[in-house]
Amino acid sequence: MKNLYTQLEQDNVPKTLTLLIQSIVGACTEIATPINHGALSDVLGSLPDHNVQGEVQKKLDVIANNILIESLKKNKQVRAVASEEVEDIILCNSFGKYLICFDPLDGSSNTDVNGSLGTIFSITSASPAQTEVSEEDFFSTGRSIIAAGYVLYGPSLMLALSTGSGTHIYTLDPSNNNFMLTHPNLNIPEDTNEFSFNLSNQFKWPENVQKYIVDLQLGTDGIRKKNFNMRWLGAMVGDMHRILCKGGIFGYPEEKNFKYGKLRLLYEANPIAFLVEQANGLASNGTTSILDTVPSSIHQRIPVFIGSKNEVLLIEKYALGK
């Protein structure tokens, strides 16, 4: 079985990018230690502060954020980073080639119940060395991503990664800390009968999305003529991992009081959309591809419908009233 670095070499990934991926996954294996200790150390629960999103910050949100920033600052190729937990971009090395966006801990409401958690990241190229970096440098569409991935802190520690040559999943071998290629060249089935939406919000969604969901719920009695199953983990990484492995559709639509939904474009929707498109799935905001969205702020939100191709295309049809 190949390890991560053999695969990156085979995909002709430049050395500097490989070293950057190493900095990120190295930080993630470090983050796994406090997650693993859980209630045995003082890492569970919330902090009195809220983050830039106005959301409660878990202790582990801050621990994961600090570990990633410290690791990335040590890498000379990192120009600047944007994190869910920090209001402004963080400048790192003026000669660095890369910009990194990350959600240090995804699904952090799961910390206290030993549920699925993840870290999500994307990498783009920075402007030429020594020119001043500003937030605007992060405002290219997801099409300019050169690598993206997530680490899933589940029963196994897994890394899903794409450098633009398909999406591969690696499993950490705890005996030697090597990520081994266990699921090469993912291919999300075009059709599915599984959906991941938080149905408690159903009546706050736009009418076309409500109609789509009712048609799924009607199963063989409705126009879909097949029964559907539902899964919701409260961590996008966990739900998307299942969808990358066996198909499905994940949705977080806009709501009456959440005009752009809940998920963040730069460090949640875009990296996951990149992984999914590299695995032959689709990612839409309901009408157009997530990866074609031009960002205008680092923490902006976007409605998402991601996963099996035919299901995402169908959602877009419902949006057109067809």
- Contact set with ligand AHG (CB under 6 A): 55, 84, 103, 106-108, 198, 234-236, 262
262 binds, among ligand AHG, Mn ion, none (CB under 5 to 8 A by kind): ligand AHG
Q: What number of helices (H) and strands (E) belong to the chain?
A: 7, 15
Instruction: Closer to Mn ion by CB, 84 or 137: give it.
Output: 84
Sort 153 into a burial class: Cβ within 10 Å, 0-12 / 13-18 / 19+: buried
Q: Tokens representing 192? A: 């599915």
In the complex, least distance from residue 136 CB atom to ligand AHG, rounded to whole angstroms: 24
In the complex, least distance from residue 104 CB atom to Mn ion, rounded to whole angstroms: 6
In the complex, least distance from residue 312 CB atom to Mn ion, rounded to whole angstroms: 20
The length of the chain is 322
In the complex, least distance from residue 99 CB atom to ligand AHG, rounded to whole angstroms: 20
234 binds, among Mn ion, ligand AHG, none (CB under 5 to 8 A by kind): ligand AHG
In the complex, least distance from residue 200 CB atom to ligand AHG, rounded to whole angstroms: 7
Instruction: Closer to ligand AHG by CB, 219 or 234: give it.
Output: 234
Q: Residues 252, 261: contact at Cβ < 8 Å?
A: yes
Instruction: Closer to ligand AHG by CB, 111 or 278: give it.
Output: 111
Q: Tokens representing 82? A: 């944007």
Residue nearest ligand AHG (C-beta atom):
236
In the complex, least distance from residue 270 CB atom to ligand AHG, rounded to whole angstroms: 14
95-134 footprint of Mn ion as x/- string (CB under 5 A): --------x-xx----------------------------
How far is it, in rounded angstroms, from Cα 168 to Cα 248? 18
Quickly list DSSP for 289-319. Answer: BGGGPPPSSTT-B--EEEESHHHHHHHHHHH
Q: Tokens representing 199? A: 């149905």
Q: Verify binding: residue 239, Mn ion, rule CB under 5 A.
A: no
Indicate the helix (H) or strand (E) that contains 53: none
Q: Residues 305, 196: contact at Cβ < 8 Å?
A: no
Q: By the criterion CB under 5 A, which residues form the site for Mn ion?
A: 84, 103, 105-106
